Structure 1
Amino acid sequence: ELAFNFKIYNKIVEVFFPEVEFGPNTFIRGSIISDEGDLKLTFRSPNISAFGNHMQNIDVKIDNKNPLFNTYVSVADVSTVYYDVKDFSLINTTLTDTLFFRTEFKGGSLYNDSYNLNFYHTFNENNNSVIGLKRSDVSFKGNTWVLNKDGNQQNKVILSRNLDSVTIDEIVMNNDNREQIRLRGKLADSTYKDLQLQFKIVSLDKIAPAIDSLNLSGEVNGNLNILQKDNVYLPSCNLEVADFAVNDLELGKLSVGIVGNKDLSDFVVSSQIVENGREKLNVIGNVINKGEIPEANLIASFDKFALEPFSPLGEGVITNIRGSLNGTVQVQGDIRNPDIEGRLALDEAGIAIPYLNVDYDFNRNADVRLTGQTFRFNNITLTDISEKTRAKMNGTIKHKFWQDWSLDLDLATLDDRFLILDTEFEEEVLYYGSGFVNGTGKIFGPTRALTITFDGATGAGTELKIPISDVASVGDYSFINFIERDQIESVDVQRTLRDYEGLELEFDLVVTPDAEVEIIVDPKTGSSLKGTGEGILLIEINTNGKFNMFGDFVVVTGEYRYRFGGIIDKTFQVKPGGSIVWEQDPLAAQLNMEAVYSLNANPAPLLDNNYVNRIPTDVVVNLTDELERPTIDFNIEFPGTSSVFISELEYKLQDPTVEERNAFFLLAQGTFVNEETGITQQAVTGNLIQTASGLLNSVLSSGNDALDFGVSYEQGYLDPTGANDFREDRIGVTVSTKISDRVLINGRFGVPVGGVSETVVAGDVEVQVLLNEEGTLRAKIFNRENEINQFLGDQQGYTQGLGLSYEVDFNSFKELMNKIFAKRDAERRKRKKDSLDISQRSVMGKDSLIQFLPKKSRPPKR
């Protein structure tokens, strides 16, 4: 008996095998009993590296007298340049003169393939080695194939005694769908090969290699043959793929025919895709195999070849790639990255950009020129499918080895506007709305990190909405916060942007009054600020949460809808000239604007008298500081009211607390209050009535300047003086119209309702007549209610009048003088010039029988 135990050290192994390395604690131990022919051996190593291959946790046991197994091999992981394997195990035993093996392992880049193989080794009557397959199964790409399904003895490989020839009787793979792959053939040293690979209704997706963004499918039938005699090769391929589809979109029947020359240096290729008798793709030519990399010399013709299957190449940034391809190109050079020359036409083509929710159609027969690895687009007209706005596109799309795609496209808008944004509100969205632009832009960069820039002005219909989604109510804040032990929590957590690959947007825009910007101040209550204006904005956005804004926005028109606790729901009109300034964070913009809510309210509760009529009242809100947490101040103004009345009211409101309280109650229930008044049922019903009136007015409005018609309902109220128990409800009608371009009429009329016996009709009417082209000189005729009579005499009266106004815009007194007197000097010089022209023409007239004089400059008769 011989027992042994060896530790294997790398220093010794390197001397004999420099490319082999064993891990520490590698050993081999065992025993040999020669008289009994008994061999026991154990080999273990944590890892082995040999010739670029790596194995981990190797365990080998050999025991030729063990009745259960003779050899057991286990390897945790095997990494090779060709294929990766893990959880490898092999066990064998001997019965009479045959070795039986069973092995199990997983393989592939993600170890999704599994193998359960049963085979045997024996010798035939000619003393040749026979390796036969018993029933086994192999799973790869999610499909299970059964080898030697019938368990016969035909599935075997025979090796000659000298190992100079190999004969494959038959190896058959089947699956449950009657698909079959059959291999037969013979190899004799290096001079003879005859291999036949047959496919029968095999699904293409089960055998085709994985290609990024492309999923191939269809039923493969046909043969692949390789025949070699001495140095003469006769390879051939004749395959048909029925119902050939790319990314689940069927293209037709694919036929592939390949014939090689005797030294395999040149292959003739003929391939077609046919659908309903139409040849949609035809590729014919040669593939030359003389160097390390095969080269192509092919002609490809397209006829209504569909582009939809290749939409995933846009990698999610560009989707819905559609249309058909027509034309012919020549393909030459490195078959992996060939040069393509030719001209193609796109018909009914288009693309979509899902992040912006826009989809564009190309013009019919759009021209595409191919050079090298570049697709050049010439004067392509893009039309958005939603609003039919248009832009012109020029530029290139390039690729490297059909994988790294990059764009360099220029855009120029047509028809004054082009849709670039059309998104709806979603939770946690940074912005949404519709965006139209007028100018030029670029789309460039790799498709996985695309950049879109635009330089121009906003177009009509633009509505950009920015929700402030992290507004917190009073209940969201606490003076005491409980956190876990050893946990550090920051009160203010800012959004951190990660490195991105996706879509990058950069818009440098001149904002025009055609565009509307809306800021959702509080999504919980619905308070919002929106308006039109002018300014310059730089907007930077990407698909991973970046949203920056730089620039100024000056309000021309606007509305501030203020909602509070279900009690207040009022719409303020923003005064022109207010501004919003952005310096990166959209929510940190600086506000500086005023908004006005106008109503008619009775000041009797504030004045403590028996005044019975309502007066025009403005609740003015000043919005300043940061957009996310603005400072809101309220003021009360009385437009069109006499100075005596205003002085009395301002005296009562000089205390800021009193003024803010009255502003709140004017918004809540439309009345002034004193210290004893609180919120009543009128606050709730008043808001419902105003909301209904607003909906009715939006229906009645004509949508233009010719006629605006509105209806309002003013609630009655209790008389605080007790002189009358109740003041009447009033229905109001407002009318604003143009009789012509020079005559404007504004009116307001009110009629008491609700069972009150009084039938007085109260109202104001104003007629304006424009006396010059600019509209700066106006004549006014008016009839309005008299607040003085109502305040002092407790009676309803009216004042009529006629006025003349002239309007001049100026920034300094000097500019005002220049505008007034310079105009007079210009008119005087014009009259002097006209008289000089007349005198000059009159000189000619003294010696002429006929005199030509201007009609208005004719001299008086003598």
Structure 2
Amino acid sequence: MVLLADFDPESKVANLDFQLLDDRKRGLTLNGTYQVVSGDQAINLKGRLTQAELILFQPFIRNLASDLQGKMDAELNIGGTLQNPLINGTAHIESASFKVNYLKTTYNLNSQSVMIDQNKVMMNNLTFTDIKGHQAVAGGVVDLSKLANPYIDVNVATNNVMILNTTYKDNNLYYGTAYATGTYQFKGFTSAIDINIKARSEENTTITIPFNTAMTVSESDFIYFVSKDSTENQENASRYFLKGMTMNMDLELTPAAEVNLQTDIGSLKGTGTGEISLKVSSLGDFEMFGDYAVNSGKFHFTAQDFINKYFDLKQGGTIRWTGSPSGATVKYYCSLPTKNIHTGLIQCRR
């Protein structure tokens, strides 16, 4: 690190020349003036970042993203005051990768440029890819005026891009791997972001919704999932993971996606069509609405460890959510592999 400075007592202006470089000249340089007497333009500095490590910016986006890696170059003009600096310039990202915390998805950027105007990072057709190289395009603004809590107003369009890569440990309300085509809007401070999603599922999508609840089966073809205290406790534990974020997700599920329902008496795995809305409040409350029509699949029926049978699901079954993710109503038709199943417990039709 090198810092050269001199001060003119009459004009009360300090001349600064700062360098923080490694032996390959990578790092930060700043030079210009600082007026000690308060004024609107107390700072007048020119800065340059050369092959700077992006991990330096990780603390400013920790609520939204993690595992930030890569390098960037930038030409900057810094004005304003020490209390309220104003940064303008351009930045070029040579390569970068990051993980979206809520989705657990990793994205990569290569050779992308942005403009910085009055502390606002202006993105215009910023292109990035998922781990399979599927492309997404972003546009909008990231306001860094409050570095500890940046404000984001960004729209993203995807084409068969991974939008979910979670496990039960990440989120016990729903999890899996999802690829989708659609639009995504992120708006608000990173500590309280609003996310609005409209998307259609693509190939290689598998979503699991665990119904860790007591389940009663009526004499009709409906299965009702009734909340238990243990489930409520799990939902409360998940609220910490979701707290501070508001999300509205409208999904068009296609036969390319597989939906798994895990219940106390077995698991249902199938494909079909439907329109589902997922809503997360800023307090971490999670709701689901919509209907899903089952085209085909399997139901693995287990009961008290002495019944272990597989049923082929037939077209015509439905799953309906009216709020609680674990309060879905399921109706299905299946072929019987044996006649030894008690039809009063599960009523199936050939």
Shorter-chain TM range is 0.7 to 0.9
Q: Is structure 2 residue 249 aligned with structure 1 residue 507?
A: yes
Q: Which residues in structure 2 correspond to 1:190-339 (within 5 Å)?
A: 254-263=1-10, 265-291=12-38, 295-339=42-86
Q: Return the match for 1:400 from 141, 145, 167.
A: 145
Classify the secondary structure of the residue corresponding to 1:598: coil
Would you tell me which structure has more helix in proportion to its own residues?
1
Matches within 5 A, 1:108-123: none
Q: 2:268 aligns with which of 529, 532, 536?
A: 529
Q: Structure 1 residues 580 and 499, CA, compared in 2 at 3 Å: closer, same or farther?
A: closer
Q: Which of 575, 588, 591 in structure 1 is aligned with 2:327?
A: 588
1:693-732 to 2 correspondence within 5 Å? none
8 Å contact 2:335–2:349 — kept in the other structure? no
For residues 163 and 199 of structure 2, the distance between their equivalents in structure 1, rounded to whole angstroms, comes to: 12
1:464 partner amino acid: I
Structure 2 residue 337 is the aligned partner of structure 1 residue 598: yes
Q: Are residues 533 and 335 of structure 1, via their aligned partners in 2, closer, same or farther at CA, if it must alter by over 3 Å?
A: same
What are the ranges of 5 or more consecutive residues in structure 2 without an aligned counterpart? 217-228
Give 1:350 shift.
2.3
Q: Which residue of 1 aligns with 2:289?
A: 550
Indicate yes or no: 2:339 matched with 1:634.
no
How far residue 348 of structure 1 moved from its aligned partner, in angstroms, is 1.0
Q: Which residue of structure 1 aligns with residue 188 of structure 2?
A: 445
Following TM superposition, by how much is the alpha carbon of 1:552 offset from its aligned partner in structure 2, in angstroms? 0.9
CA change 1:533–1:346 in 2 (3 A) is same
Alignment of 1:398-547 (within 5 A): 398-414=143-159, 417-426=160-169, 429-471=172-214, 501-522=243-264, 527-541=266-280, 545-547=284-286
CA distance 1:433–1:448, change in 2 (3 Å): same
1:389 corresponds to 2:139: no
The superposition leaves residues 755-813 of structure 1 with CA deviations (integer Å, 9 ceiling, x where unpaired) of xxxxxxxxxxxxxxxxxxxxxxxxxxxxxxxxxxxxxxxxxxxxxxxxxxxxxxxxxxx
Q: Could you say which structure has the larger radius of gyration?
A: 1
C-alpha change, 1:368 and 1:511, in structure 2 (3 Å) is same
2:272 and 2:295 in contact (8 A); partners too: yes
- Does 1 or 2 have the higher relative contact order (CA < 8 Å, sep 6+)? 2
The answer to whether the 8 A contact 1:597-1:618 is kept is no
Amino acid at match of 2:68: I
5 Å-filtered alignment, 1:127-166, equals none
Q: 1:277 to 1:428 in 2, by over 3 A?
A: closer
Per-residue CA deviations over 1:497-535 (Å, capped at 9, x if unaligned) read: 68975343321111111111111012xx6x111211111
Displacement after TM superposition at 1:589 (Å): 1.5
Give the Cα separation in 2 of the matches to 1:532 and 1:492.
26
Q: C-alpha distance in 1, partners of 2:263/2:88?
A: 56
Shift of 1:255: 2.0
* 1:68-122 Cα deviation digits (max 9, x unpaired): xxxxxxxxxxxxxxxxxxxxxxxxxxxxxxxxxxxxxxxxxxxxxxxxxxxxxxx
Deviations 1:383-415 (A, max 9, x none): 122x3322111111102243331111111113x
Aligned Cα root-mean-square deviation (Å) = 2.9
| Cα distance change, pair 513–543 in 1 and its aligned pair in 2 (3 A) | farther
Structure 1: where are the runs of 5+ without partners? 1-253, 474-489, 600-616, 622-630, 638-862
Give the 3-state SS of the residue equivalent to 1:633 in structure 2. coil
Q: Percent identity?
A: 24
Distance 1:293 1:381, change over 3 A: closer
Distance 2:150 2:211 in 1: 37
Displacement of 1:280 in angstroms is 2.2
Distance 1:278 1:572, change over 3 A: same
Aligned length: 335
Compared with structure 1, are the counterparts of its residues 383 and 499 closer, same or farther at alpha carbon in structure 2 (3 Å cutoff)?
closer
How far apart, CA to CA, are the structure 1 residues paired with 2:214 and 2:6? 71
1:438 Cα deviation after fit:
0.8
CA drift at 1:317: 2.6
1:655-674 alignment runs, 5 A limit: none
Report if aligned partners of 1:293, 1:335 keep a CA contact under 8 Å in 2: no
Looking at structure 1, the residues matched to 267 and 277 of structure 2 have their Cα atoms a distance apart, in angstroms, of 22
CA distance in 2, matches of 1:511, 1:275: 52
Rounded to whole Å, the distance in 2 between the matches of 1:388 and 1:352 is: 15
Q: Is the 8 A contact 1:596 1:618 kept in 2?
A: no
Q: Shift of the alpha carbon at 1:493?
A: 6.5
Provide the C-alpha distance between the structure 2 equivalents of 1:539 and 1:556, rounded to a whole number of angstroms: 22
Quote how far apart the aligned CAs of 1:360 are. Answer: 0.5
CA contact (8 A) 1:428 1:469 kept: no
One-letter identity of the residue aligned with 1:563: T
The answer on whether the counterparts of 1:384 and 1:419 sit within 8 Å (CA) in structure 2 is yes
CA distance, structure 2, for counterparts of residue 388 and residue 277 of structure 1 = 32
Q: Distance in 1 between matches of 2:60 and 2:135?
A: 25
Which of residues 364, 369, 373 in structure 1 aligns to 2:119? 373
Separation in 2, partners of 1:255, 1:280: 12
Contact 2:171 2:241 (8 Å CA) reproduced = no
Aligned to 1:749: none
* Cα distance in 1 between the residues matched to 2:259 and 2:230: 31
Query: Residues 30 and 48 of structure 2 are in contact (CA less than 8 Å); yes or no, is this contact kept in structure 1?
Result: yes
1:353 to 81, 100, 108: 100
In terms of fraction of residues, the more strand-rich structure is 2
TM-score (norm: length of structure 2): 0.86
Kindly state the Cα deviation for residue 451 of structure 1 after the two structures are TM-superposed: 2.7
Q: Which residue of the partner structure matches residue 578 of structure 1? A: 317
Say which SS state the counterpart of residue 346 (structure 2) adopts. strand
Query: Residues 499 and 431 of structure 1: is their aligned pair in 2 closer, same or farther, counting only changes over 3 Å?
Result: closer
Deviation, structure 1 residue 313: 1.6
Query: Equivalent residues in 2 for 1:23-172 (5 A)?
Result: none
Q: Which residue identity is paired with 1:508?
A: D
Counterpart residue identity of residue 399, structure 1: L
Corresponding residue to 2:300 among 561, 569, 577: 561
Under a length normalisation based on structure 1, what TM-score does the superposition of the two structures give?
Answer: 0.37
Contact preservation (8 Å) 2:181, 2:202: yes
| Residues 492, 374 of structure 1: alpha-carbon distance in 2 compared, 3 angstrom cutoff | closer
SS in 1 for 2:347: strand
Q: Is the 8 A contact 1:321 1:349 kept in 2?
A: yes
- C-alpha separation between the residues in 1 aligned to 2:231 and 2:247? 28
Equivalent position SS for 2:336: strand
